[in-house]
């Protein structure tokens, strides 16, 4: 929906793209509605009580969606009404300390109030409740000790009044705290702790940098910093074209698309991409400046490779270089103590097609603080059917929040996991026909920081007739 909104504003969309985009948006919209709680607000699985931060996040989503898709305005009204009812008399919001895992790690009111106020402002709300929240944020700015909290506060103030003097001072303070890479002409803001969505490390810095850039773009005073921060976001994009987590990807896209709105392609530019002497040339025209162009040059060799990009003409296009290669598992480096460890063992590796294959899983979290969503992707051996009764029982016993299955893997979602906590369980598989193949790898990772992960290597299994 972000891309569709941008292409409509720049008048570069096509009927075919519109149809496909609206189809995806409609599916997503219907899916989001299933998480609404009776009485207002949203929760991870639509179960009461509603979650204030997740409801504010939903308000942002529906507000963005309404720009390109006809949604029921009562959904936004219900969510907004519920969020406003949770506001305290001093103008703030806080996260109730409940036994559920969702965002229980947020301490203090500042980050919650800033996030909720920003969502209301972005949704176009200008009522006295938001004005009270803005006053509270200004009064308590001293509580913000990290870059992410300051970035959220800046967006809250900017959504209320982009010409506010306190906002100008806050943005100037953030500008002074940026981390510059002068050689690559990029800058960022490092977040040492986690974000509201528990991103850590580089993903937390991506969220923070995107938020700062988003706020700065509402004023004309930080153009150079904005350009450098957008360059950092492009640099941090992974080989799949995303930024790892959902939250980091959405925030990065919001910032980049808003920044691109002010840029215009002048004339036709020719771009020659060369690797080890083999070249390919593409043309970027004004009417195709926003189209993703892929140049696949399979001339890379083991060892050092030389890549060059030459541009004839003027263009503001951004580029990314991605290299892909394969390693045998024997050469894959392993961490001595990864953030997560996971092992999958089978009761046999040779069986007949009438046998049952038993699998056991052991997962352990090695972080120093609790984590609030771990995803476990269990690789399924090809040619097998999985008995899901073990996972259904885990949901009933509240050992996992939910699970989903495909032909290649089972995905389990865990809530709060404590440092050094061990999770062990078993399940069964039935072969469909004789086969000899390796199982896909099994991966456990923190949902909002997917680089914090552990892997279990494939196992070869033979099914005999």
Query: Do 443 and 453 meet the contact criterion of CB atoms below 8 Å apart?
Result: yes
Q: Report, as an integer, the average pLDDT of 239-256.
A: 82
For 412-445, letters b (16+ CB in 10 Å) and e give: bbbbbbeeebebebebbbebeeeeeeebbbbbbb
Is there a single domain that holds both residue 248 and residue 279? no
Average pLDDT value over all residues in the chain? 85
> So what's the pLDDT on residue 300?
72
Q: Report, as an integer, the average pLDDT of 297-322.
A: 79
Domain-located, residue 321 = no
Q: Residue 345 pairs with which residues in a beta bridge?
A: 360
Is there a single domain that holds both residue 55 and residue 148? yes
Q: How far apart are CA 208 and CA 192, in angstroms?
A: 11
Least confident of 119-128, 287-296, 440-449: 287-296
Q: Report, as an integer, the average pLDDT of 192-221.
A: 88
Domain stops at, among 220, 239, 260: 260
Q: Report, as an integer, the average pLDDT of 311-337.
A: 77
CA end-to-end span of the chain = 51
Is a pLDDT exceeding 70 seen at residue 21?
no
> So what's the pLDDT on residue 299?
66
How confident is the model over 367-379, as pLDDT tens digits? 888 887 899 999 9
What is the length of the chain? 465
Is there a single domain that holds both residue 185 and residue 162? yes
> So what's the pLDDT on residue 206?
93
Domain-located, residue 71 = yes
Least confident of 24-33, 49-58, 154-163: 24-33
Looking at the chain, the number of H-run helices and the number of E-run strands are 12, 17
Domain-located, residue 134 = yes
Is there a single domain that holds both residue 83 and residue 106? yes
Q: Report, as an integer, the average pLDDT of 359-388.
A: 92
The helix (run of H) or strand (run of E) holding residue 250 is helix 246-260
Q: Report, as an integer, the average pLDDT of 167-181.
A: 95
> So what's the pLDDT on residue 101?
40
Domain at 170, CATH number: 1.50.10.20
Domain-located, residue 241 = yes
Domain-located, residue 317 = no
Q: Report, as an integer, the average pLDDT of 169-192.
A: 93
Is a pLDDT exceeding 80 seen at residue 96?
no
Is there a single domain that holds both residue 174 and residue 237? yes
Q: How confident is the model at residue 43 (pLDDT cuts 50, 70, 90)?
A: confident
Is there a single domain that holds both residue 361 and residue 275? no
Domain-located, residue 242 = yes
Is a pLDDT exceeding 60 seen at residue 30?
yes
The string of DSSP codes covering 198-209 is: ---HHHHHHHHH
Domain stops at, among 218, 233, 260: 260
> So what's the pLDDT on residue 261?
58
Is a pLDDT exceeding 50 seen at residue 115?
yes
> So what's the pLDDT on residue 228?
93
Is a pLDDT exceeding 80 seen at residue 263?
no
Is a pLDDT exceeding 60 seen at residue 7?
no
Better-predicted residue by pLDDT, 289 or 224? 224
> So what's the pLDDT on residue 99?
37
Q: How confident is the model at residue 104 (pLDDT cuts 50, 70, 90)?
A: very low
> So what's the pLDDT on residue 119?
94
Is a pLDDT exceeding 60 seen at residue 103?
no
Query: Do 215 and 259 meet the contact criterion of CB atoms below 8 Å apart?
Result: no
Is there a single domain that holds both residue 133 and residue 202? yes
Is there a single domain that holds both residue 87 and residue 179? yes
Q: Any long-range contacts for 282-290 (C-beta under 8 Å, 24+ apart)? A: 284/315, 284/317, 287/12, 289/12, 289/264, 289/265, 289/315, 289/316, 289/317, 290/6, 290/7, 290/10, 290/12, 290/260
Domain around 281: 269-312
Is there a single domain that holds both residue 290 and residue 182? no
Is a pLDDT exceeding 50 seen at residue 102?
no
Q: Report, as an integer, the average pLDDT of 30-49.
A: 80
Is there a single domain that holds both residue 385 and residue 280? no
Helix axes 73-85, 52-65, angle to 10 degrees: 150
Is there a single domain that holds both residue 426 and residue 446? yes
> So what's the pLDDT on residue 222?
94
Domain at 382, CATH number: 2.60.40.690
Helix/strand/coil (H, E, C) string of 83-152?
HHHCCCCCCCCCCCCCCCCCCCCCCCCHHHHHHHHHHHHHCCCCCHHHHHHHHHHHHCHHHCCCHHHHHH
Domain-located, residue 325 = no
Is a pLDDT exceeding 80 seen at residue 14?
no
Domain-located, residue 289 = yes
Is a pLDDT exceeding 60 seen at residue 208?
yes
pTM of the entire structure? 0.71
> So what's the pLDDT on residue 20?
60
Query: Do 425 and 390 meet the contact criterion of CB atoms below 8 Å apart?
Result: yes
For 40-78, letters b (16+ CB in 10 Å) and e give: bbbbbeeeeebbbbbbbbbbbbbbbbbebbebeeebbeb
Domain count, the chain: 3
Q: Is 370 exposed, middle or buried (0-12, 13-18, 19+ CB in 10 A)?
A: middle
Question: What are residue 117's phi and psi, to 5 degrees?
Answer: -65, -40
Is a pLDDT exceeding 90 seen at residue 29?
no
Q: Report, as an integer, the average pLDDT of 371-395.
A: 93
Q: Residue 430 pairs with which residues in a beta bridge?
A: 385
Is there a single domain that holds both residue 342 and residue 247? no
């Amino acid at each position: 929906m972000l891309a569709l909104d941008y292409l409509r504003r720049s008048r570069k969309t096509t009927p075919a793209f519109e149809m496909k985009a609206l189809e995806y948006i409609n599916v997503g919209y219907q899916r989001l509605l299933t998480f609404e709680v009776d009485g207002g607000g949203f929760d991870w699985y639509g179960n009461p009580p509603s979650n204030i931060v997740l409801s504010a996040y939903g308000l942002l989503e529906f507000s963005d969606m309404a720009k390109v898709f006809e949604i029921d305005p009562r959904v936004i009204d219900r969510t907004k009404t519920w969020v406003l009812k949770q506001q305290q008399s001093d103008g703030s919001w806080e996260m109730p300390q409940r036994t559920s895992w969702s965002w229980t790690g947020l301490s203090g009111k500042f980050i919650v109030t800033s996030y909720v106020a920003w969502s209301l402002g972005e949704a176009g709300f200008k009522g006295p409740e938001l004005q009270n929240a803005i006053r509270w944020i200004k009064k308590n700015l001293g509580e913000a000790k990290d870059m992410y909290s300051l970035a959220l506060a800046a967006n809250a103030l900017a959504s209320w009044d982009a010409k506010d003097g306190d906002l100008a001072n806050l943005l100037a303070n953030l500008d002074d705290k940026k981390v510059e890479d002068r050689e690559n002409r990029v800058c960022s803001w490092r977040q040492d702790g986690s974000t509201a969505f528990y991103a850590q490390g580089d993903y937390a810095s991506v969220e923070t940098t995107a938020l700062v850039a988003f706020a700065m773009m509402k004023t004309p005073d930080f153009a150079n910093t904005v350009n450098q921060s957008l360059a950092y976001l492009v640099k941090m994009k992974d080989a799949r074209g995303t930024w790892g987590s959902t939250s980091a990807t959405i925030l990065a896209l919001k910032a980049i698309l808003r920044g691109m709105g002010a840029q215009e392609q002048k004339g036709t530019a020719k771009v020659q991409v060369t690797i080890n002497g083999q070249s390919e040339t593409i043309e970027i025209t004004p009417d195709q400046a926003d189209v993703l162009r892929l140049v696949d040059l399979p001339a890379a060799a083991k060892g050092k490779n030389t890549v060059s990009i030459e541009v004839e003409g003027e263009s503001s296009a951004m580029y990314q270089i991605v290299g892909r290669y394969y390693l045998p598992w024997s050469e894959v480096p392993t961490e001595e103590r990864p953030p997560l460890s996971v092992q999958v063992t089978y009761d046999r590796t040779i069986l007949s097609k009438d046998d049952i294959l038993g699998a056991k899983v052991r997962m352990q979290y090695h972080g120093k603080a609790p984590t609030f969503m771990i995803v476990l992707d269990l690789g399924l051996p090809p040619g097998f059917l999985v008995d899901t009764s073990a996972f259904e029982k885990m949901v009933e016993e509240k050992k996992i929040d939910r699970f989903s299955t495909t032909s290649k893997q089972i995905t389990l979602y865990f809530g709060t996991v404590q440092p050094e906590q061990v999770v062990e369980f078993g399940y069964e598989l039935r072969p469909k026909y004789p086969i000899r193949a390796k199982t896909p790898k099994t991966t456990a990772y923190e949902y909002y920081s997917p680089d914090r992960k552990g892997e279990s290597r494939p196992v070869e299994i033979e099914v005999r007739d």
